């Protein structure tokens, strides 16, 4: 009798620890993330198999993102999105995927739903009463104004574009106009955005919805001549300083300083970034392209990473994942973890008067003096602004390399 009870207990334990996971259907999906106010933030993706590996391909207007770190955990499917701390956790039910989108460090989440569907993100039978094509002076948070610049193109009722800000851009937005309304969205793994707006007279009023708990009001008006502040005028050194220094650990636990031999008599690009920051990743990819096309032993790059991860070990893991995923050849040091607070970061680099954005890039000449400080990053979604930045960066680096110390 005792043996029978033990056998029954053993079978119960085995059954309790066994989970059946329905394999997700291969195909094109329309996904929905529910925002704080119940609005639906849609995006498109494709699931496919390659070499017996499940892969998710997200399509944002002109951008394609590949997520191939997909694991089965208990009764769920986890779609990881390194280097970000984001994950989609779902169960497969026929032609649907149901679950949640989660930011692991903050614990913030939103419901997630996807169904096999080849239709666009947004549809409407209404014709648009206007074209969004053009440049728009934009003011976010009218009660505490923050400047922006909307850049959009439109064909029929289909719209694509982005918002530039002093800190960076909202990357690849796309959607539709219908009647007097606008619907745009994007999903890059880290920052899902939904924009809902209405045109009233010459002004467009709207809300920018972040996936979890943020809704930012804005208004914009067409203005082809409007420009943001010069990105080199926003972050400065304190009076009396001509250079900076730091001493932070790399992923191997070694301390690296700007005074080290590897930086002496070189032009140095110091990138202040975070692995959680899409604009920082865009800038990193630009730097990687530049390094590959312009190898020069008198030029060095170094990253100073500000991480939200609550422990040093987890922060280092995020940095290591980013270095591995994008094959970054230069050191990225852990400058801060547990908080992305900018005032706290200034305590680490007290030569800086201020910092308003991640990324911020400091370019240092061969003598060790700061030549320029660039706030934010105009990524490829900004079009001409990105091209202009590349030309400016390349010209500045070339000029500094040609100078004899």
401 class by beta-carbon count within 10 Å (0-12 exposed, 13-18 middle, 19+ buried): middle
CA atoms within 13 A on the CB side of 348: 22
- Using CA atoms, how far residue 309 sits from 306, 334, 338, in Å, is 9, 11, 5
* Residue 119, number of CB atoms within 10 A of its CB: 10
CA 11 to chain centre: 47
> C-alpha dihedral over 329, 330, 333, 337, to 10 degrees?
-50
Q: What is the pLDDT of residue 405?
A: 61
Residues 37 and 215: beta-carbon distance below 8 Å: yes
Which CATH code of 3.40.50.10490, 2.30.40.10, 2.40.128.120, 3.40.470.10 fits the domain covering 134-222?
Answer: 2.40.128.120
Q: CA–CA distance from 377 to each of 165, 279, 318 (Å)?
A: 9, 6, 21
The alpha carbon of residue 353 and the mean position of all alpha carbons in its chain are separated, in whole angstroms, by: 26
| Secondary structure of residue 272 in the 3-state scheme | strand
Query: Which two tokens mark 223?
Result: 């203005």
Phi, psi of 76 (to 5 degrees): -125, 165
Where in the chain do CATH 3.40.30.10 domains reside?
A: 247-402
β-pairing verdict for 247-249 and 215-222: unpaired
Helix (H) or strand (E) run with residue 316 in it: helix 312-326
CA distance 175 to 173: 7
Q: What is the pLDDT of residue 211?
A: 81
Q: Where in the chain is the domain with CATH 2.40.128.120?
A: 20-116, 134-222
Predicted confidence at residue 20, as pLDDT, reads: 63
State how far the alpha carbon of 87 is from the alpha carbons of 10, 82, 92, in Å. Answer: 34, 9, 16
Q: Kindly report whether the peptide bond that precedes residue 206 is cis, defined as omega within 30 degrees of 0.
A: no
Pick the closest to residue 93 from 114, 78, 111, 74 (CA basis): 114
Q: What pLDDT is stored for residue 331 in this prediction?
A: 98
Q: What pLDDT is stored for residue 6 in this prediction?
A: 47
CB 350 within 8 A of CB 141: no
Helices (H) and strands (E) in the chain, counts: 5, 25
269-279 burial code (b ≥16 CB/10 A, e <16): bbbbbbbbbbb
For residues 103, 104, 109, 113, the Cα torsion angle rounded to the nearest 10 degrees is 80
Q: State the CATH architecture for 247-402.
A: 3-Layer(aba) Sandwich (3.40)
CATH class of 20-116: mainly beta
Residue/partner pairs of 186-189 with CB below 8 Å, 24 or more apart: 186/43, 186/60, 186/61, 187/31, 187/33, 187/41, 187/43, 187/58, 187/60, 188/58, 188/60, 188/63, 188/65, 188/278, 189/58, 189/65, 189/67, 189/81, 189/84, 189/86, 189/278
**H helical segments located in 84-230:** none
* CA 384/CA 39 separation, integer angstroms: 32
pLDDT tens track, the chain, 405 positions: 555 444 444 444 444 444 567 889 999 999 999 988 889 999 999 999 999 899 999 998 989 999 999 999 888 999 999 899 999 999 999 999 999 999 988 888 999 999 999 999 999 999 999 999 999 999 999 999 999 999 999 999 999 999 999 999 999 999 999 999 999 999 999 989 999 999 999 999 999 998 877 889 999 999 999 999 999 999 999 999 999 999 999 999 999 999 999 999 999 999 999 999 999 999 999 999 999 999 999 999 999 999 999 999 999 999 999 999 999 999 999 999 999 999 999 999 999 999 999 999 999 999 999 999 999 999 999 999 999 999 999 999 999 999 876
Structural contact between residues 189 and 401, judged by C-beta atoms closer than 8 angstroms: no
């Amino acid at each position: 009798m005792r043996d029978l009870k033990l056998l029954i207990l053993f079978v119960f334990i085995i059954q309790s620890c066994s989970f059946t996971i329905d394999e997700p259907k291969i195909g094109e999906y329309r996904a929905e993330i529910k925002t704080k106010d119940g609005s639906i933030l849609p995006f498109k993706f494709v699931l496919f198999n390659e070499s017996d590996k499940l892969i998710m391909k997200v399509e944002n207007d002109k951008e394609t993102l590949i997520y191939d770190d997909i694991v089965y955990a208990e009764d769920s499917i986890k779609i990881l999105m390194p280097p970000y701390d984001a994950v989609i956790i779902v169960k497969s039910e026929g032609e649907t995927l149901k679950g949640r989108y989660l930011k692991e460090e903050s614990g913030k989440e939103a419901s997630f739903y996807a169904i096999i569907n080849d239709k666009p993100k947004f549809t409407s039978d209404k014709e648009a009463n206007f074209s969004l094509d053009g440049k728009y002076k934009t003011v976010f948070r009218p009660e505490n104004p923050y400047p922006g610049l909307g850049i959009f193109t439109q064909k029929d009722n289909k719209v694509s574009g982005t918002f530039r800000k002093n800190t960076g851009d909202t990357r690849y937005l796309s959607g539709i106009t219908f009647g007097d309304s606008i619907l745009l969205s994007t999903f890059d793994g880290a920052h899902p955005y939904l924009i809902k707006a209405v045109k009233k007279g010459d002004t467009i009023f709207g809300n920018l919805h972040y996936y979890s708990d943020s809704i930012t009001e804005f208004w914009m008006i067409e203005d082809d001549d409007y420009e943001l502040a010069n990105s080199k005028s926003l972050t400065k050194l304190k009076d009396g300083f001509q250079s900076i220094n730091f001493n932070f650990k790399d992923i191997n636990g070694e301390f690296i300083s700007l005074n080290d031999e590897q930086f002496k008599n070189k032009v140095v690009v110091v990138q202040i970034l975070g692995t959680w920051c899409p604009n920082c990743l865009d800038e990193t990819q630009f730097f990687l392209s530049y390094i590959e096309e312009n190898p020069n032993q008198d030029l060095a790059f170094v990253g100073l990473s500000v991480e939200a991860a609550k422990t040093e070990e987890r922060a280092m893991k995020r940095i290591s994942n980013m270095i591995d995923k994008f094959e970054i050849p230069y050191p990225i040091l852990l400058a801060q973890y547990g908080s992305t607070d900018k005032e706290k970061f200034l305590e680490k680099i007290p030569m800086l008067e201020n910092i308003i954005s991640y990324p911020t890039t400091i370019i240092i000449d061969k003598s060790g003096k700061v030549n320029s400080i660039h706030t934010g990053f105009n990524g490829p979604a900004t079009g001409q602004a990105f091209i202009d930045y590349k030309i400016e960066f390349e010209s500045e680096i070339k000029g500094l390399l040609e100078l004899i110390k």
